[in-house]
Structure 1
Protein backbone atom coordinates (compact mmCIF):
# COMPACT_ATOMS: atom_id res chain seq x y z
CA UNK A 1 0.00 0.00 0.00
CA UNK A 2 1.48 3.38 -0.92
CA UNK A 3 1.11 6.42 1.31
CA UNK A 4 0.51 9.88 -0.16
CA UNK A 5 2.02 12.92 1.56
CA UNK A 6 0.00 16.12 1.58
CA UNK A 7 0.87 18.45 -1.31
CA UNK A 8 2.05 21.31 1.02
CA UNK A 9 4.45 19.00 2.84
CA UNK A 10 6.23 18.14 -0.43
CA UNK A 11 6.83 21.82 -1.08
CA UNK A 12 8.37 22.29 2.37
CA UNK A 13 10.59 19.23 1.99
CA UNK A 14 11.70 20.32 -1.46
CA UNK A 15 12.56 23.86 -0.32
CA UNK A 16 14.45 22.56 2.72
CA UNK A 17 16.49 20.14 0.64
CA UNK A 18 17.48 22.80 -1.87
CA UNK A 19 18.51 25.58 0.53
CA UNK A 20 21.63 27.51 -0.33
CA UNK A 21 24.66 26.20 1.63
CA UNK A 22 25.12 29.51 3.51
CA UNK A 23 21.51 29.35 4.74
CA UNK A 24 21.94 25.74 5.91
CA UNK A 25 25.05 26.63 7.95
CA UNK A 26 23.48 29.62 9.73
CA UNK A 27 22.55 28.73 13.33
CA UNK A 28 18.88 28.95 14.15
CA UNK A 29 17.85 31.47 16.81
CA UNK A 30 17.65 30.12 20.36
CA UNK A 31 14.27 29.00 21.61
CA UNK A 32 12.37 31.92 23.12
CA UNK A 33 14.35 34.60 21.29
CA UNK A 34 12.12 37.47 20.28
CA UNK A 35 9.48 36.40 22.78
CA UNK A 36 8.33 39.32 24.90
CA UNK A 37 8.63 38.84 28.67
CA UNK A 38 5.28 39.77 30.24
CA UNK A 39 6.18 39.50 33.95
CA UNK A 40 6.86 43.06 35.17
CA UNK A 41 8.92 41.67 38.07
CA UNK A 42 11.30 39.81 35.71
CA UNK A 43 14.76 41.24 35.24
CA UNK A 44 14.50 41.05 31.43
CA UNK A 45 11.06 42.68 31.21
CA UNK A 46 11.04 45.62 28.82
CA UNK A 47 8.06 47.87 29.31
CA UNK A 48 6.99 50.93 27.44
CA UNK A 49 9.01 54.13 27.75
CA UNK A 50 7.57 56.08 30.66
CA UNK A 51 6.50 59.70 30.33
CA UNK A 52 8.79 62.30 31.88
CA UNK A 53 7.98 65.25 34.11
CA UNK A 54 9.56 67.45 36.76
CA UNK A 55 9.00 67.72 40.51
CA UNK A 56 9.82 70.96 42.32
CA UNK A 57 10.34 70.62 46.08
CA UNK A 58 10.78 73.36 48.62
CA UNK A 59 13.71 72.74 50.97
CA UNK A 60 13.86 73.83 54.63
CA UNK A 61 15.59 77.13 53.74
CA UNK A 62 12.93 78.11 51.16
CA UNK A 63 14.94 77.11 48.10
CA UNK A 64 13.46 75.02 45.32
CA UNK A 65 14.95 71.69 44.29
CA UNK A 66 14.29 70.21 40.87
CA UNK A 67 14.00 66.47 40.21
CA UNK A 68 13.52 65.13 36.68
CA UNK A 69 11.33 62.04 36.89
CA UNK A 70 9.95 59.12 34.99
CA UNK A 71 6.24 58.88 35.73
CA UNK A 72 4.65 55.58 36.77
CA UNK A 73 0.92 56.16 36.21
CA UNK A 74 -0.24 52.64 35.22
CA UNK A 75 -0.51 49.50 37.38
CA UNK A 76 2.35 47.84 35.46
CA UNK A 77 4.65 50.86 35.73
CA UNK A 78 3.85 51.27 39.45
CA UNK A 79 4.58 47.57 40.03
CA UNK A 80 7.85 47.68 38.10
CA UNK A 81 9.07 50.96 39.56
CA UNK A 82 12.87 51.09 39.79
CA UNK A 83 13.38 47.31 39.91
CA UNK A 84 16.69 46.01 38.59
CA UNK A 85 18.23 49.45 38.07
CA UNK A 86 21.88 49.52 39.19
CA UNK A 87 21.88 53.28 39.82
CA UNK A 88 19.75 56.39 40.00
CA UNK A 89 21.68 59.54 39.07
CA UNK A 90 21.48 62.66 41.26
CA UNK A 91 18.66 64.97 40.26
CA UNK A 92 16.57 62.11 38.89
CA UNK A 93 13.84 59.91 40.27
CA UNK A 94 10.55 58.18 39.67
CA UNK A 95 7.15 59.64 40.47
CA UNK A 96 4.35 57.19 41.21
CA UNK A 97 0.87 58.61 40.69
CA UNK A 98 -2.21 56.94 42.14
CA UNK A 99 -5.85 57.69 41.29
CA UNK A 100 -6.64 59.19 44.72
CA UNK A 101 -5.21 59.97 48.14
CA UNK A 102 -4.81 56.70 50.03
CA UNK A 103 -2.28 55.28 52.46
CA UNK A 104 0.42 53.96 50.11
CA UNK A 105 2.78 51.11 50.92
CA UNK A 106 5.96 50.13 49.06
CA UNK A 107 8.47 47.27 49.16
CA UNK A 108 11.90 46.90 47.55
CA UNK A 109 11.89 43.27 46.40
CA UNK A 110 13.91 43.59 43.20
CA UNK A 111 15.23 47.09 43.77
CA UNK A 112 19.03 47.07 43.84
CA UNK A 113 19.74 50.50 45.32
CA UNK A 114 18.70 52.30 48.52
CA UNK A 115 16.01 54.91 47.94
CA UNK A 116 14.30 57.76 49.76
CA UNK A 117 10.52 57.62 49.37
CA UNK A 118 8.70 60.94 49.62
CA UNK A 119 4.94 60.64 50.13
CA UNK A 120 2.95 63.61 48.79
CA UNK A 121 -0.77 64.34 49.02
CA UNK A 122 -2.99 65.77 46.28
CA UNK A 123 -2.71 69.24 47.87
CA UNK A 124 1.04 69.23 47.15
CA UNK A 125 2.26 68.73 50.72
CA UNK A 126 5.01 66.30 51.61
CA UNK A 127 3.30 64.13 54.24
CA UNK A 128 6.20 61.80 55.06
CA UNK A 129 9.62 60.50 54.09
CA UNK A 130 11.19 57.08 54.35
CA UNK A 131 14.94 57.52 54.12
CA UNK A 132 17.42 55.00 52.72
CA UNK A 133 14.95 52.15 52.25
CA UNK A 134 16.99 48.96 52.26
CA UNK A 135 17.09 47.29 48.83
CA UNK A 136 16.03 43.71 48.06
CA UNK A 137 13.56 43.35 50.92
CA UNK A 138 9.86 42.62 51.23
CA UNK A 139 9.48 44.96 54.20
CA UNK A 140 6.36 47.07 53.74
CA UNK A 141 7.12 50.79 53.97
CA UNK A 142 4.46 53.42 54.56
CA UNK A 143 4.14 56.73 56.38
CA UNK A 144 0.55 55.90 57.41
CA UNK A 145 -0.86 59.13 55.96
CA UNK A 146 -2.93 59.30 52.75
CA UNK A 147 -1.06 60.47 49.68
CA UNK A 148 -1.53 60.45 45.93
CA UNK A 149 2.11 60.63 44.85
CA UNK A 150 5.32 58.91 45.90
CA UNK A 151 8.63 60.28 44.69
CA UNK A 152 11.60 57.92 44.79
CA UNK A 153 15.06 59.50 44.74
CA UNK A 154 18.54 58.16 45.57
CA UNK A 155 18.96 57.11 49.20
CA UNK A 156 20.12 59.97 51.43
CA UNK A 157 19.02 62.65 48.97
CA UNK A 158 16.29 64.11 51.23
CA UNK A 159 18.56 64.73 54.21
CA UNK A 160 21.43 65.98 52.03
CA UNK A 161 19.14 68.58 50.40
CA UNK A 162 17.15 69.67 53.45
CA UNK A 163 13.81 68.25 52.36
CA UNK A 164 11.41 67.65 55.25
CA UNK A 165 7.84 66.71 56.01
CA UNK A 166 5.49 69.65 55.35
CA UNK A 167 7.45 70.92 52.34
CA UNK A 168 5.49 72.22 49.37
CA UNK A 169 5.70 70.23 46.15
CA UNK A 170 4.77 71.30 42.62
CA UNK A 171 4.69 69.31 39.41
CA UNK A 172 5.47 70.25 35.83
CA UNK A 173 4.39 68.14 32.87
CA UNK A 174 1.72 65.95 34.50
CA UNK A 175 -1.26 67.55 32.77
CA UNK A 176 -1.28 65.21 29.76
CA UNK A 177 -0.48 62.01 31.67
CA UNK A 178 -3.43 59.68 32.18
CA UNK A 179 -3.51 57.88 35.54
CA UNK A 180 -4.85 54.35 35.20
CA UNK A 181 -6.20 52.67 38.36
Structure 2
Protein backbone atom coordinates (compact mmCIF):
# COMPACT_ATOMS: atom_id res chain seq x y z
CA UNK A 1 0.00 0.00 0.00
CA UNK A 2 2.81 2.46 0.83
CA UNK A 3 4.44 1.70 -2.54
CA UNK A 4 1.19 2.55 -4.36
CA UNK A 5 0.84 5.82 -2.44
CA UNK A 6 4.44 6.83 -3.20
CA UNK A 7 4.09 5.95 -6.88
CA UNK A 8 0.88 7.97 -7.15
CA UNK A 9 2.46 10.98 -5.47
CA UNK A 10 5.60 10.96 -7.61
CA UNK A 11 4.57 10.26 -11.21
CA UNK A 12 7.44 12.43 -12.51
CA UNK A 13 9.97 10.11 -10.88
CA UNK A 14 8.67 7.23 -12.97
CA UNK A 15 9.08 9.12 -16.24
CA UNK A 16 12.21 8.31 -18.17
CA UNK A 17 13.85 10.75 -20.54
CA UNK A 18 12.37 8.76 -23.43
CA UNK A 19 8.80 9.34 -22.23
CA UNK A 20 9.09 13.09 -21.64
CA UNK A 21 7.10 15.18 -24.08
CA UNK A 22 9.37 16.95 -26.54
CA UNK A 23 9.00 19.14 -29.59
CA UNK A 24 11.15 20.95 -32.10
CA UNK A 25 9.13 23.68 -33.77
CA UNK A 26 10.01 25.30 -37.09
CA UNK A 27 12.03 28.50 -36.97
CA UNK A 28 9.60 31.27 -37.97
CA UNK A 29 11.15 34.40 -36.41
CA UNK A 30 14.39 35.90 -35.19
CA UNK A 31 15.51 38.32 -32.53
CA UNK A 32 18.52 40.56 -33.10
CA UNK A 33 20.36 42.91 -30.88
CA UNK A 34 21.19 44.68 -28.84
CA UNK A 35 19.76 47.62 -30.77
CA UNK A 36 22.23 50.47 -30.49
CA UNK A 37 20.22 53.05 -32.44
CA UNK A 38 16.45 53.15 -32.93
CA UNK A 39 16.76 53.60 -36.71
CA UNK A 40 19.25 50.80 -37.23
CA UNK A 41 17.49 47.52 -38.06
CA UNK A 42 20.23 45.62 -39.92
CA UNK A 43 22.48 43.20 -38.09
CA UNK A 44 25.16 40.72 -39.00
CA UNK A 45 23.73 37.20 -38.84
CA UNK A 46 25.94 36.48 -35.81
CA UNK A 47 23.92 38.90 -33.63
CA UNK A 48 20.59 37.19 -34.35
CA UNK A 49 18.95 34.18 -32.75
CA UNK A 50 16.59 31.96 -34.77
CA UNK A 51 13.34 31.49 -32.87
CA UNK A 52 10.89 28.66 -32.57
CA UNK A 53 7.48 30.09 -31.67
CA UNK A 54 4.83 27.98 -29.91
CA UNK A 55 1.38 28.67 -31.32
CA UNK A 56 -1.00 26.37 -29.44
CA UNK A 57 -1.61 25.86 -25.70
CA UNK A 58 0.00 22.39 -25.95
CA UNK A 59 3.11 23.83 -27.63
CA UNK A 60 3.35 26.48 -24.90
CA UNK A 61 3.09 23.83 -22.16
CA UNK A 62 5.79 21.61 -23.67
CA UNK A 63 8.18 24.45 -24.54
CA UNK A 64 11.74 23.08 -24.47
CA UNK A 65 10.82 20.10 -22.24
CA UNK A 66 12.68 16.89 -22.99
CA UNK A 67 15.25 18.54 -25.30
CA UNK A 68 18.81 17.40 -24.65
CA UNK A 69 20.45 20.22 -26.65
CA UNK A 70 19.71 23.78 -27.79
CA UNK A 71 22.22 25.31 -30.22
CA UNK A 72 23.61 28.73 -29.20
CA UNK A 73 22.01 30.45 -32.19
CA UNK A 74 18.53 29.12 -31.46
CA UNK A 75 15.83 29.88 -28.88
CA UNK A 76 12.11 29.75 -28.16
CA UNK A 77 9.92 32.89 -28.13
CA UNK A 78 6.85 32.86 -25.88
CA UNK A 79 4.38 35.66 -26.70
CA UNK A 80 1.32 36.56 -24.67
CA UNK A 81 -0.85 39.41 -23.50
CA UNK A 82 0.93 41.54 -20.90
CA UNK A 83 0.98 39.55 -17.65
CA UNK A 84 3.06 38.49 -14.67
CA UNK A 85 4.50 35.49 -16.49
CA UNK A 86 5.93 32.68 -14.39
CA UNK A 87 8.14 29.91 -15.81
CA UNK A 88 9.53 26.73 -14.31
CA UNK A 89 12.00 24.10 -15.50
CA UNK A 90 10.04 20.94 -14.75
CA UNK A 91 11.07 18.13 -17.11
CA UNK A 92 13.55 20.43 -18.85
CA UNK A 93 16.85 18.62 -19.36
CA UNK A 94 19.23 21.51 -20.07
CA UNK A 95 20.03 24.76 -18.23
CA UNK A 96 18.54 27.86 -19.88
CA UNK A 97 18.62 31.64 -19.76
CA UNK A 98 15.11 33.13 -19.42
CA UNK A 99 14.88 36.63 -20.91
CA UNK A 100 11.76 38.56 -19.82
CA UNK A 101 10.77 41.47 -22.09
CA UNK A 102 8.19 44.21 -22.41
CA UNK A 103 7.03 45.25 -25.86
CA UNK A 104 7.92 48.78 -26.96
CA UNK A 105 6.31 48.64 -30.42
CA UNK A 106 5.49 46.05 -33.08
CA UNK A 107 9.15 44.95 -33.37
CA UNK A 108 11.11 46.25 -30.42
CA UNK A 109 11.11 44.94 -26.86
CA UNK A 110 13.10 45.94 -23.77
CA UNK A 111 14.70 43.37 -21.47
CA UNK A 112 13.32 43.77 -17.94
CA UNK A 113 15.04 40.77 -16.36
CA UNK A 114 17.30 37.85 -17.24
CA UNK A 115 17.33 34.66 -15.18
CA UNK A 116 20.79 33.28 -16.02
CA UNK A 117 21.64 29.58 -16.11
CA UNK A 118 18.34 28.32 -14.72
CA UNK A 119 18.83 24.66 -13.84
CA UNK A 120 16.65 21.72 -14.91
CA UNK A 121 14.20 20.32 -12.37
CA UNK A 122 12.73 16.82 -12.18
CA UNK A 123 10.99 17.35 -8.83
CA UNK A 124 7.29 17.87 -8.27
CA UNK A 125 8.15 21.15 -6.52
CA UNK A 126 10.27 23.18 -8.95
CA UNK A 127 11.07 26.85 -8.35
CA UNK A 128 9.40 29.42 -10.58
CA UNK A 129 11.04 32.36 -12.32
CA UNK A 130 9.40 35.68 -13.15
CA UNK A 131 10.27 39.30 -13.95
CA UNK A 132 8.50 40.86 -10.97
CA UNK A 133 6.42 42.97 -13.35
CA UNK A 134 4.10 42.35 -16.31
CA UNK A 135 5.84 41.29 -19.55
CA UNK A 136 4.76 40.50 -23.12
CA UNK A 137 7.53 38.11 -24.17
CA UNK A 138 9.94 35.55 -22.78
CA UNK A 139 12.82 34.14 -24.81
CA UNK A 140 14.52 30.94 -23.69
CA UNK A 141 18.15 30.48 -24.74
CA UNK A 142 20.89 27.99 -23.95
CA UNK A 143 22.49 28.89 -20.61
CA UNK A 144 25.14 31.59 -20.97
CA UNK A 145 23.85 32.96 -24.28
CA UNK A 146 22.16 36.07 -22.86
CA UNK A 147 25.38 37.18 -21.18
CA UNK A 148 27.51 36.26 -24.21
CA UNK A 149 25.26 38.37 -26.45
CA UNK A 150 25.21 41.32 -24.04
CA UNK A 151 21.50 40.99 -23.25
CA UNK A 152 20.82 42.52 -19.84
CA UNK A 153 18.22 44.76 -18.20
CA UNK A 154 17.31 47.74 -20.42
CA UNK A 155 18.75 46.11 -23.58
CA UNK A 156 16.48 46.69 -26.58
CA UNK A 157 15.98 43.77 -28.98
CA UNK A 158 14.45 43.69 -32.47
CA UNK A 159 12.00 40.85 -33.21
CA UNK A 160 10.98 40.00 -36.74
CA UNK A 161 9.03 37.31 -38.52
CA UNK A 162 10.83 35.47 -41.29
CA UNK A 163 9.29 36.21 -44.66
CA UNK A 164 8.03 32.71 -45.38
CA UNK A 165 6.41 32.28 -41.94
CA UNK A 166 3.23 34.20 -42.69
CA UNK A 167 4.12 37.25 -40.60
CA UNK A 168 2.87 38.48 -37.27
CA UNK A 169 -0.64 39.27 -38.52
CA UNK A 170 -1.19 35.64 -39.53
CA UNK A 171 0.03 34.09 -36.27
CA UNK A 172 -2.22 33.79 -33.26
CA UNK A 173 -1.31 35.63 -30.07
CA UNK A 174 -1.19 32.52 -27.88
CA UNK A 175 -1.31 32.53 -24.13
CA UNK A 176 0.55 30.17 -21.87
CA UNK A 177 -1.64 27.99 -19.67
The alignment's TM-score, normalised by the length of structure 1, stands at 0.68
Matches within 5 A, 1:1-181: 43=19, 45=21, 49-50=25-26, 52-58=28-34, 65-98=47-80, 100-123=81-104, 124-136=109-121, 138-173=126-161, 174-175=167-168, 176-181=170-175
Cα separation, 1, equivalents of 2:23 and 2:97: 24
SS of 2:33's partner is strand
- Who wins on radius of gyration, i.e. which is larger? 1
Aligned residues, how many?
A: 139
Cα RMSD after superposing both structures: 2.6
Change (3 A) 1:47 1:82: closer
Q: Which has the higher contact order (CA 8 A, sep 6+)?
A: 2
Q: Return the structure number with greater helix share.
A: 2
Cα separation, 2, equivalents of 1:94 and 1:157: 13
Structure 2: give runs of 5+ residues left out of the alignment: 1-17, 162-166
The alignment's TM-score, normalised by the length of structure 2, stands at 0.69
Structure 1: give runs of 5+ residues left out of the alignment: 1-41
SS of 1:72's partner is coil
C-alpha deviation, 1:172, in angstroms: 1.1
C-alpha deviation, 1:50, in angstroms: 4.7
Cα separation, 2, equivalents of 1:48 and 1:134: 20
Hey, what does 2:3 align to over in structure 1?
none
Per-residue CA distance 1:107-150 (angstroms, 9 max, x = gap): 00110000000011121111110000011251111121211110
Change (3 A) 1:45 1:115: closer
Report runs of 4+ in structure 1 exceeding 2 Å deviation: 42-51, 62-65
